[in-house]
């Protein structure tokens, strides 16, 4: 665990409208939770923006950078990960409203140079990509990052086109939900092609510049880098930033609380036709009917409710960051939560939107007893283990023991508790390596969340 630092908590900047009596306050339970999470080293820093209609305030916790005397503020920049998908969904809605695309239009019509998979003649539509009902997998099968800590950096258009040309859909589009970074990468590529602009320029032209979002981009300019909070793995260790090519529309944006307030308020305050279209429910994700516990999805946005309060939300996570944005559908309350540690912040976000809903803090149980293993023997575990066609564990020997990465995630250390058995300290998970009759390691089983997921060692 990183050294404990004094928690800094203050309304860093009031962004309230002129004449407002007071900036929105942070619920006491959320404030105390954020203080605890930073004090215990669960998050290097947190920024929580509370939005009440036209008024907003930003609260900062911890330190955005090692050695900084100041807390993070409204202009500290973070990776927002999959919150980017809501922006891609808004670009789709914008194109539909402008008559430049249709929700039921086949993506193949926008990308004639691509070979897009279909199922029994049923083609994938733009709406199916935007709602994760396309039938495409979460990740492309040919994703093989040179650096597991930056998994999308070398996945370019050529790899995307190659995968799609050789892929066969296992079910018809619209048959079932499967969250897909691949699908959103393809959607962004199609929208950029239709607009004849790179994805970054399309974001700037249609969303960022009109909303005055001056600190938002898929590119890390020198100005943004100067305010970028460095990322951390879930166990608190520093990690590198992520970079994107063909999958940028799934998670490439970096932004600040100030910019994200403007973005969320564009849905809350007199939303335009594109914003209204983006949050219209299009598919049911869980349950039936309209009661609590039913989740629906619009164009990326998840439509949910807690204690009878309906709201729209989306979260994000990269190798070193986590985020949550949301607003109540009556337009009265909004939230932005940004962290530079890859640890879930959803509870904080919902706790702001629906006061009194903050779940109890999960206490970490004692880890298994760690045993020493001769470093010379650790090399036998190094390799790649395929738990699914698009999900691979990469094991290597680091200077202090084994390091394990996963597709789309950063590396984390594991520690031996028995021969062939290793555990994570950052999360509640365990790896048990498998051997054949000759004693050679042939696979691994990942035990997590009550599930056992076996994987074969790749040649």
Min mean pLDDT across 85-99, 255-269, 408-422 is at 408-422
Eight-class DSSP state of 282: -
Min mean pLDDT across 167-181, 280-294, 432-446 is at 280-294
pTM reported for the whole predicted model: 0.80
The angle at the Cα of 320, spanning 318 to 323, to the nearest 5 degrees, equals: 60
> 375-457: what CATH class?
mainly beta
The CATH label, of 1.20.120.1200, 3.90.650.10, 3.40.710.10, 3.30.1490.20, for the domain at 81-278 is 3.40.710.10
Which of these, 22, 34, 12, 77, lies nearest to 260 by C-alpha position? 77
What average pLDDT does the chain have?
Answer: 89
Query: pLDDT per residue over 69-83, tens digit each?
Result: 889 999 999 999 999
Eight-class DSSP state of 236: S
- Could you tell me how far CA 318 lies from the centroid of its own chain? 6
Query: pLDDT per residue over 197-242, tens digit each?
Result: 999 999 999 999 999 999 999 999 999 999 999 999 988 889 999 9
Burial class (CB in 10 A: 0-12, 13-18, 19+), 230: middle
Of residues 255 and 391, the one with the higher pLDDT is: 255
Q: Which tokens go with 66? A: 């090692």
Q: How far apart are CA 89 and CA 447, in angstroms?
A: 35
DSSP output for 18-86: TT-SSPPPPPHHHHHHHHHHHHTTS-SEEEEEEEETTEEEEEEEE-SSTT-SSPP-TT-EEE-GGGHHH
- 8 A C-beta contact, residue 150 and residue 112: no
- 8 A C-beta contact, residue 275 and residue 266: yes
- 8 A C-beta contact, residue 52 and residue 45: no
Q: How far apart are CA 327 and CA 341, in angstroms?
A: 23
The predicted structure's pLDDT at residue 364: 55
Burial class (CB in 10 A: 0-12, 13-18, 19+), 207: buried
Each domain of the chain, given as residue ranges in start order, spans 81-278, 375-457
Q: How far apart are CA 346 and CA 295, in angstroms?
A: 15
Which of these, 430, 370, 432, 428, lies nearest to 401 by C-alpha position? 370
Q: How far apart are CA 358 and CA 169, in angstroms?
A: 40
Query: pLDDT per residue over 320-379, tens digit each?
Result: 999 999 999 999 999 999 999 999 999 999 999 999 999 887 665 566 889 988 888 899
The predicted structure's pLDDT at residue 292: 52
Backbone angles phi, psi at 132, to 5 degrees: 65, 35
Is residue 266 over pLDDT 80?
Answer: yes
């Amino acid at each position: 665990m990183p050294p404990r630092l004094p928690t800094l908590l203050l309304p860093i900047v009031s962004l309230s409208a002129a004449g407002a009596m007071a900036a929105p306050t942070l619920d006491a339970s959320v404030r105390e939770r954020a203080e605890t999470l930073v004090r215990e080293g669960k998050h290097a820093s947190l920024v929580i923006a509370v939005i009440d209609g036209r008024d907003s305030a930003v609260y900062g916790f911890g330190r955005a950078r090692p050695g900084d005397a100041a807390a993070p503020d409204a202009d500290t920049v973070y990776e927002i990960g999959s919150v980017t998908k809501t922006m891609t969904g808004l670009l789709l809605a914008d194109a539909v409203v402008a008559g430049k695309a249709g929700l039921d239009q086949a993506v193949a019509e926008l990308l004639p140079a691509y070979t897009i998979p279909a199922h029994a003649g049923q083609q994938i539509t733009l709406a199916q990509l935007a709602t994760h009902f396309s039938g495409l997998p979460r990740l492309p099968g040919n994703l093989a990052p040179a650096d597991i800590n930056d998994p999308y950096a070398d996945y370019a258009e050529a790899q995307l086109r190659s995968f799609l040309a050789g892929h066969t859909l296992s079910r018809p589009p619209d048959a079932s939900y499967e969250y897909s970074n691949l699908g959103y990468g393809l959607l962004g590529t199609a929208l950029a092609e239709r607009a004849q602009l790179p994805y970054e320029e399309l974001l700037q032209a249609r969303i960022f510049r009109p909303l005055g979002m001056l600190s938002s981009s898929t590119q890390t300019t020198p100005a943004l880098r100067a305010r970028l909070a460095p990322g951390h793995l879930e166990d608190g260790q520093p990690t590198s930033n992520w970079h994107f090519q063909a999958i940028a529309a799934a998670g490439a944006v970096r932004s600040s609380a100030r910019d994200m307030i403007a973005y969320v308020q564009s849905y809350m305050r007199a939303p335009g036709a594109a914003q209204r279209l983006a949050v219209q429910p299009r598919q049911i994700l869980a349950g039936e009917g309209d009661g609590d516990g039913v989740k629906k999805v619009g164009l990326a946005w998840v439509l949910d409710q807690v204690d009878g309060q309906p709201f729209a939300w989306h979260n994000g996570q990269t190798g070193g960051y986590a985020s949550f944005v949301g607003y109540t559908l009556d337009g009265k309350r909004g939230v932005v939560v940004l962290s530079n540690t890859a640890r879930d912040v959803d509870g904080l976000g919902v706790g702001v939107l629906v006061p009194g809903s903050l779940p109890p803090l999960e206490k970490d149980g004692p880890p298994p007893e760690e045993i020493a293993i001769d470093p010379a023997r650790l090399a036998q575990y190094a390799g790649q283990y395929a738990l699914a066609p698009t999900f691979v564990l990469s094991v290597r020997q680091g200077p202090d023991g084994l390091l394990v990465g996963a597709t789309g995630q950063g590396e984390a250390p594991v520690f031996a508790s028995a021969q062939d058995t290793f555990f994570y300290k950052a999360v509640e998970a365990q790896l048990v390596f498998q051997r054949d009759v000759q004693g050679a390691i042939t696979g691994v089983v990942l035990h997590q969340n009550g599930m056992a997921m076996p994987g074969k060692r790749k040649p």
